[in-house]
Each structure stands twice: as C-alpha cells, then as structure tokens.
Amino acid sequence: MELLLQQVMAGLANGAIYACMALAIVMIFQAIDHLNFAQGEMAMFATFIAWQLMQWGLPYWGAFVISVALSFVAGVLIDRVLFRPVQKAPILSQLVAFIALFSILNSSAGQIWDYTIKSFPTPFGHHPLFGGTLIDTHEAGMIGVTALLLALLYVFFRGTRLGLAMRAAAANPESARLVGIRVGWMTALGWGMAAAIGTVAGILVAPVVFLEPNMMLGVLLYGFAGAVLGGLSSPGGAVLGGFAVGVMENLAGTFIPYVGQELKLTLALVMITVVLMFRPSGLFGRSVVSRV
Amino acid sequence: MTTTIPKDDIAVGAATPARRASMRLGNRNLIVAGLVVVAFIVPLFVTSFVTFQLTEVLIYGLAILGLNLLTGFNGQFSLGHSAFYGIGAYTAAILIHNYEVSYLWTLPAAGVVCFVIGFLFGLPALRLQNLYLALATFALATAMPQILKFHALEGWTGGVQGLVVDQPEAPSFLPISDDQWLYYFTLIVVLVMFLCAESLIHSRTGRAIMAIRDNPIAAAAMGINNSLYKTLTFGMSALYTGIAGALGALAIAYVAPDSFTIFLSISLLVGLIIGGNGSIPGCLFGGLFVLYVPNIANALSTGLAGAIYGVILLLVIFVMPAGAAGFVRLATARLSRRQA
C-alpha cells in the first residue's frame, strides 16, 4: 500500500510536467489546428538558456523568469515569421515546418552546449517532505508550480478581456474578426504562452531527466499521450490527461515487470494508439464533424 | 496535397500533342536508359569508398520511394518510417547472424515482415486522419530504439550492442571487388523495385491509390474500398522501406538500435520533400541529398547537420514547394515554351 501511494504521488509529480506539455500542445492545436512536434525541443532549448544564465551567475528564479520571458517572445516570433506564411500551404508543408524546427533546435543545442548530460539545480532540494517517505520536496515543488500556473491561466482565460478574446479567436476566427479581435495576434499570443508553459515544464523536469538535447523526447511523447487522452480540444481535459498518464506510467513501471521500466516510450505509443482508435476525441474533447 | 500536373498540360507548340507526347516519352526512356548505363559503369572508375557511398544513395532512394508511395501517392503522412527501416535491417541481421541464412533470402524476408507489420500497424492507424496518423507514427519512431534494446529480446537483437553482419562477398567468377558487387547487387534490386513501383502507380490499383489521395469520398463513391487500399499502401510502403533497411544492414555490416531514431525518419522526409512529393525518379535525387548534404554540413561545422537540414527544409517549402522534381518540371516547361 505504501509503495502504491508512493508511486501514485511520484506519478502525479511527473504528471504535472506532462500536464504542462499537454496544455502547451493543446493551446497551439486550438490556435492553428496543428500538433506542435517541436514543443519539446523549444522547451529543451529554453531550459539550456536558463542553465547558461545560471552558469553566468544569475540566481535560479532570475534565470527562470528571464528564460520563460525569452521563450514567450520566441514563441510569438516563430508564429509570425515561420508559420504565418505557410498558414494556407498544404498540410504536408506545415508538418515539415514543425519537423524542420524540431531538427534545427535539437541540432543547434547539441552544437552549442554539446551532448554530455548535465545536472540541473532545483530550488526545492531533494529532501523528504514533512519527514514522510511519500514524496520529496522537488516533486512537491513540481506539482505546486504547475498548480499555480494552471490557476493563473484559468483566471486569465475566464477573467480578462484578452483571455476572452483569445478564446473567441480559437473558437470562431471569422466571427471574432468581425467583432474587432485581431485573430492573427491572438494566435501569436497563444504560441508565446504555449512556449512559456513548455519552458516551465522543461525547467521543472530537468533536475529529474537531466539536461541534454534529447531530454524532452520522452516528455513530449507523454505530453501528446496526455493531450490525446484528455482531448485535443479541451485544455482542462489535457491537464487531467497529463496527470493520468503520469500516474499510469509510474504504476506500470512498478508493477509490470520488465515492460514498464524499459519500454516507457512504447507504453506511451500504445496509449496514444489505443485512445486514437477507440475515442479519437479524447475523454473531454468535442468530436469533429465536417461537412461534405 | 500537391497534385502532379499531367505533362501534356504544359505542352505548347507546333507539333501535334500525340506526336509530342510520344517524342517526350521516347526522350524520357532514352534518358532513363542512359542513366542506368552510367550507373552500371560508374563503379569501374571511382574509388571503393565512392562506390560504397553510391550504394547508400541507392538504398536511401529506395527507402524514400517507400515513403513516397504512402505520402506522395496516397496522401498519408508517416514520421515512423525509421521504424520500418530498422525492422527490415534487423530482420536481415538476425537471419544472417543467428540463423546463417544466405543474404539473398534476407531481402524477401525483410519485405514480408515489414509488409505484415506495416499492414497490422496500418489497420488501427489508418482510421486516423492526417495529423493523428503523423502523431501515431511519430510515437512509433520514438519508441522503436527502446523496443530494439528491450532485454527480453536481447537473444535475438543483441540489445544495446547491436549485431554484426557478414558482408556479402562477390561471387568468385566475377572479377570485381566486394564493394562493387554490393553496389551492383543493390542497383539491380533497386531497379527492379523502381520498375515495380512505376507499374504499380500506372495500374488500376495505382489509380485507386491516387484517387483516395485526391478525394476520398469520391473514391469511395466509385467503389474503391478506401480502408483496404490505404492499409495495403501502408504495408507496401513499409515493404519498400524494409527492403531498403535490409540492404542497409548488408552494406554497413552492422545494426544498432540507435541508428533507427526519429532523426532517420526526418532524413527520409527531407529526401522525399527535396526529391519531390509524388515523383518516382525524384526519390533517387532525395537519396543523393540525404547522403551528401550532411557530409557537406559536417565539413562546414561538425554536428550542425540537423540544423542545416532544418533550414533547407524551410527554404524548400517556402521557395520550391514541389521539390526538385517540380522544379525540373517547371524549368522544362519554361524552356520548351521559349523554344516554341
């Protein structure tokens, strides 16, 4: 029982990261109807920037804020420079643009900071929380920061005019344009926010998976699994899905011999395929109906 | 989806369309025959390293052709072809290393295994629309190296270490080196596979495959069994890429799990886009590109190959959206117009 609880808590901590990635994926999906295959690499690159800033002597939270802000700007720029011009291009071209971004970021990070594995600091430390063995402080910190982020986003989307405008632009671009919302900029803003959320996830997970150019591949895959499970059209669902796949991953790793530990990515593949087969709209998403 | 423009649409000139068409067809056959002759005599004049590189070009071209059958002609995306390439390579390696099968038999075996796996993976995956299919295949490509390392399969796959494969030796009655033999062997296999693809595309089945790409609903209304054809195309595509993988294992004489990552899929996609989506000869150009550009990139700065790939990809979709084949088509159209 102790082991089960422990694994569930650890799963929730990982799930917090997957939830952030899933949320970032869903935000971009809502804005432009595309899966951002480069989401993980964007987060990885920003995490390297945070690491570099800390190497230059900045305190943890200073580096955190600067790299999140930088990735927000970068996200907006990526949308305006890279994806706006191909907005009307065939779907293959757009997919290729994401893959190109993935390749560029991965390879440049390897070139700038090389492929050796680096440790990444955590401000929370790795002590048992409240003296118990259930969860350590870094895991609690991951869950805490994610919860705070989600609360802020909720307030932003429900309580501010800008949040309302972004929701309108995603739900019905044409009508939104008619009431004077600048849909293009709302999309860019969505990109910026998704990049920033991804960066938070990257910085939080770096102490666990260690810093290296391929660190986000597994996280991204679980982020996708979470987003698909919760439903690509539902931000709240994606967050729940992220937590759910985190718990599933840890339980499978503990209780299924061999498979769970060595085949974590395969587990994500199976989850994605099964959900897409039986419930392509996810648990909370709307199913897409298209007119013929 | 880019649709290929029928060549006759471009023809503007004094000669009757039929005559021009036959002339063009004649020209085209002549060019192809010339290229094949050149391909056969090149290894006699270059070093064995260049011969080896050309072998790799042919192999990549074949793998890209597999992806092209799926993406270019059937309109479905796959980021997972590195997995099929890997399965083909491992099938060949396991047969040679563990069971001492002759290398000639590994190719059909790899083809069959990949066809079956592709078909089975296609069954659920092909109910998925574009992006979801891209997602499922992305997951497949990401998970593949881990599956190959899985320690329950270690007895077969050699785990993280991979497997060493004996390189095919030239038959003693031929006065050529092993590298040259490998090149000729690959060349013949690739030529046969390209001919098969060409006739497949121009058959009734090929038209059904393309009809599904252009308009699935209309295709279904014409009586085409969409899901059957899509799954078959997926299997066929996996078969081509798997045979390329088996040839790759023979050429490199070694397989290891980390050779078949998502980055191999990206390379194949680059080759497809550069060569031209939906162009069969373009695949070989894609193969040339995939082999030589990272070398050039490495010469510029080690390790930046991925970044340069990415930049080139972006340039192509912004500047040359139909790839090299589209570019050539456009250029010939311009030139023939000028002559007329």
Q: Does A289 touch chain B (CB under 8 A)?
A: no
Reduced to 3 states, what is the DSSP secondary structure of residue A118? strand
Q: Does A155 touch chain B (CB under 8 A)?
A: no
Is residue B283 predicted with pLDDT exceeding 60?
yes
Residues 6 or more apart whose CB falls under 8 angstroms from that of A143 comprise A12, A13, A16
> Among B304, B288, B269, which Cα is nearest to B61's?
B288
Q: Which residues of A touch B140 (CB under 8 A)?
A: 269
All structural domains of chain A with their residue ranges = 2-216
Question: What pLDDT does B102 receive?
Answer: 85
The residue ranking higher by pLDDT, B296 or A46, is A46
Question: What pLDDT does A132 receive?
Answer: 65
B38, B284 contact by CB (below 8 A):
no
**Mean pLDDT rounded to a whole number for chain B:** 82
| pLDDT band at residue A130 using 50, 70 and 90 as cut-offs | low
DSSP conformation letters of B177-222: -HHHHHHHHHHHHHHHHHHHHHHHHTSHHHHHHHHHHH-HHHHHHT
Amino acid at B160: V
Is residue B178 predicted with pLDDT exceeding 50?
yes
- Whole-angstrom distance, CA of residue A252 vs CA of residue B199: 48
| pLDDT band at residue B2 using 50, 70 and 90 as cut-offs | very low
Reduced to 3 states, what is the DSSP secondary structure of residue A211? strand
Is residue B8 predicted with pLDDT exceeding 50?
no
A27, A223 contact by CB (below 8 A):
no
B249, B93 contact by CB (below 8 A):
yes
CB atoms under 10 Å from CB of B129, counted, come to 14
Question: What pLDDT does B7 receive?
Answer: 43
Whole-complex ipTM: 0.84
Is residue B281 predicted with pLDDT exceeding 90?
no
* % of chain A surpassing 70 pLDDT: 95
Give the distance from residue A223's alpha carbon to the nearest chain B alpha carbon, in angstroms. 11
| Least trusted range by pLDDT, from A125-134, A207-216, B18-27 | B18-27
Give the distance from residue A115's alpha carbon to the nearest chain B alpha carbon, in angstroms. 10
CB contact residues (below 8 A), chain B span 146-165, against chain A: 146-147, 149-152
Residues 6 or more apart whose CB falls under 8 angstroms from that of A207 comprise A119, A120, A121, A122, A138
- Cβ pairs bridging A and B (under 8 Å): 140
Chain B residue at shortest CA distance from A101: B310
Is residue B19 predicted with pLDDT exceeding 60?
no
Is residue B339 predicted with pLDDT exceeding 70?
no
Mean pLDDT of all residues in B298-311: 73
Q: Does B300 touch chain A (CB under 8 A)?
A: no
Six token digits for residue A200: 């938070």
| pLDDT band at residue A126 using 50, 70 and 90 as cut-offs | confident
Is residue B304 predicted with pLDDT exceeding 80?
no
Instruction: Measure Cα distances from A67 to A53, A160, A220, A240, B304 in Å.
Output: 8, 25, 19, 26, 23
| pLDDT band at residue B235 using 50, 70 and 90 as cut-offs | very high
Question: What pLDDT does B173 receive?
Answer: 80
- Whole-angstrom distance, CA of residue A120 vs CA of residue A246: 21
Is there a contact between B310 and A258 if contact means CB atoms under 8 Å apart? no
Q: Does B310 touch chain A (CB under 8 A)?
A: yes
Is residue B16 predicted with pLDDT exceeding 60?
no
CB atoms under 10 Å from CB of A8, counted, come to 18
Q: How many CA atoms lie within 13 A of A247 on its CB side?
A: 12
CB contact residues (below 8 A), chain B span 258-277, against chain A: 262-263, 266, 269, 273, 277
Question: What pLDDT does A125 receive?
Answer: 77
Mean pLDDT of all residues in A49-57: 92
| pLDDT band at residue A198 using 50, 70 and 90 as cut-offs | very high
Q: Identify the structural domains of chain B with CATH numbers, from first to last.
A: 7-167+174-339 (1.10.3470)
Question: What pLDDT does B4 receive?
Answer: 47
For an interface test with A, give the residue of B138, B261, B308, B309 to mutate (most A CBs within 10 A). Answer: B138
Q: Does B138 touch chain A (CB under 8 A)?
A: yes
Q: Does A85 touch chain B (CB under 8 A)?
A: yes
